[in-house]
Amino acid sequence: MSAIIERQANPIPARKTGGPVPRLFVSLYGVSLFIAVLAVWAVVAWILPTKHQYLFPSPWLTLKILWESLPELLVSTGSSFLILAPAYAGAVILGASWGLLVGGSERLRLIFIPFARVVAPVPPTVYIPYAIALLPTFRSSAIFIVLLASFWPVFINASAGTLAVPEQHRDNARALGFTHFQYLRRVAFPAALPFIFNGMHVGMGMAFIMLTVAELFGSTSGLGRFVQYYADYADFPRMLAGILYTGLITFLSMSGLGLLEKKIIFWPH
């Protein structure tokens, strides 16, 4: 893990490839890919025998079922976000603050990095059955699992960002008489913000993955439970509609985080 932090703290400069691609063309490329996937999906659903079309519904049938299921999906979304919101917020606060402390202290790195090398690579899914059995409610166990999954990306990137602060800035802070806490707050934290947001993006993706997996185990509501419930009853069009809706919610959440990043980090980096 220390090697990961060092690599992120000293990133390899990006190679120039002939100038930036206009934003309009990037958007068109993305839309074209979605249209192509939709076309392939429609063609495959059309050429399949009638008896298999229920297993592989057409885009139009899926969208119809999605619209009909929207009230139930909105309730499931609220239930999922009651888990996701506190877990992700806790992961960001703990990961960023602890990453700044560890990245800014050689002693803490010597103490904590060996522990992190053992714990960080363990997939959070292995803790789900034990957390459900140990914690009093499913919601508390799910919050713990989602928080754990989101913590490590934020922590690693915050540590890397703190280590990436130029030595000149550290010398200037010492010359100005900054305490260690003032240095972390006024120098290291702003410098590490781009790294922290990178970790937040990865952490949000992990949060949605672990939330869905946790809801498959023992939840009575939520987006993951919606998909699992209709899969158990072999209602594949409704199950597919739930998967597409979950992807849409994830995309909107990631896009919102991207807008927040642009709002906060207004300087070039």
Mean pLDDT of 75-89: 93
* Digit-coded pLDDT (tens) for 178-237: 887 888 888 889 888 999 999 999 999 999 999 988 888 777 788 888 988 888 888 888
Q: Which residue has the tokens 């260690």?
A: 180
Would you say residue 117 has pLDDT above 80? yes
Which of 16-25, 46-55, 144-153, 223-232 is predicted most confidently? Answer: 144-153
**pLDDT value for 99:** 92
**pLDDT value for 119:** 86
Which of 14-23, 82-91, 105-114, 257-266 is predicted most confidently? Answer: 82-91
Mean pLDDT of 233-250: 90
- Measured CA to CA, the distance from residue 146 to residue 135 in angstroms comes to 14
- Measured CA to CA, the distance from residue 202 to residue 267 in angstroms comes to 22
Mean pLDDT of 235-240: 88
Q: Are 235 and 62 in contact (CB under 8 A)?
A: no
Give percent of the chain above pLDDT 70. Answer: 86
Token readout for 158 is: 């915050």
Would you say residue 25 has pLDDT above 60? no
pLDDT top residue among 237 and 7: 237
Band (88; pLDDT cuts 50, 70, 90): very high
pLDDT top residue among 152 and 104: 152
3-state helix, strand, coil in the chain (%, to 5): 80, 0, 20
**pLDDT value for 51:** 60
**pLDDT value for 35:** 82
pLDDT top residue among 96 and 38: 96
CA atoms within 13 A on the CB side of 241: 25
Give percent of the chain above pLDDT 90. Answer: 33
**pLDDT value for 8:** 45
Band (113; pLDDT cuts 50, 70, 90): confident
Query: Which H or E run contains 183?
Result: helix 180-183
DSSP secondary structure letter of residue 124? G
